[in-house]
Every structure is written in C-alpha cells, then in structure tokens.
Homo-oligomer: A and B are copies of this chain.
C-alpha cells in the first residue's frame, strides 16, 4: 500500500535506484525509470542483454534467483535540511510491457517516441520508509 504522501513524492521524481541481490546476498544497484499505476509500481529494464555474452542482465538473473528488491527515490539539495527520500521494498515479478505502457508514457515523453521493449518489473510493495531531514 502506497500512501498519498509517498505517491506525491514519487510522482515528482524522474529516476529511482533499484537494488537486487543474488542468492549469495551480493547486492546490485542501478538507476531505473518507473511509474505508479494505481497500487502497482512498474520499473523499466530497457537495456538489451549484453551482446558480448548473450547473458540476461544481472538484475534479471538476480530476480530469477531472488525476487526481493528495494527501490529508493530521493530529493537532493545542497541545503541539507531539504533532503528527503522514500524507500520501497517488496517482491518483483517480470512481465511484458502491456498495459503499463500508458502509465510510463504519461510520465516519460521519451517512451511515447520509443516504447520500452520490456520486460518490465512489477513491484508488490510490502514496506515503505519515508525519511526527510526536516523531520529528524
């Protein structure tokens, strides 16, 4: 369940940072684009598998081993009293782009010109942490 406060903060940010871990608990983190559609959070994985190895991306291999992820969205400001972030944790599933395209294209004009090839991650949020420097 994503609160209205979290939803508003997420809507105002363009990039999130998605952490996955493999079965040996070795973490991996990358910038990602995302969109909320109702209670569902979609994350795009719009790079192709590495041409050199033909291997699927590390984050997809990690998710196949371990669907637990964490995602953070933040506001940085040189006035540190304005720092804030929202971390969402949960389990992801790998899905084709399908109906999430509308929510993504609404946020990112870039996807209107060139839709993400997919797959997408669909995050079922089980836990959210909201932090802001102003509330320390």
| Chain A interfacial positions (CB closer than 8 Å to B) | 14-15, 17-31, 47-48, 66, 68-72, 74, 76, 78, 80, 83, 85, 87, 89, 110, 136
Please give, as numbers and ranges, the residues of chain B lying within 8 Å of A20 by CB-CB distance. Answer: 27
Q: Which of B28, B87, B136 contacts A28 (CB 8 A)?
A: B87
* The residue from B24, B68, B85 contacting A27, defined by CB atoms under 8 A apart: B68
> How many copies of this chain does the complex contain?
2
A87 CB to nearest chain B CB (Å): 6
Chain B residues contacting A71 (CB-CB under 8 Å) are 29
B25 touches A70 (CB 8 A): no
Interchain CB contact under 8 A, B21 and A27: yes
Q: A76-B14, A110-B80 are in contact. Are A24 and B25 (CB under 8 A)?
A: yes
Whether A72 and B30, one on each chain, are in contact in the complex, defined by CB atoms closer than 8 angstroms, is: yes
State the 9 A-B residue pairs at the shortest beta-carbon distance, nearest first.
A19-B19, A17-B17, A19-B29, A19-B27, A25-B25, A21-B21, A31-B74, A27-B70, A21-B25
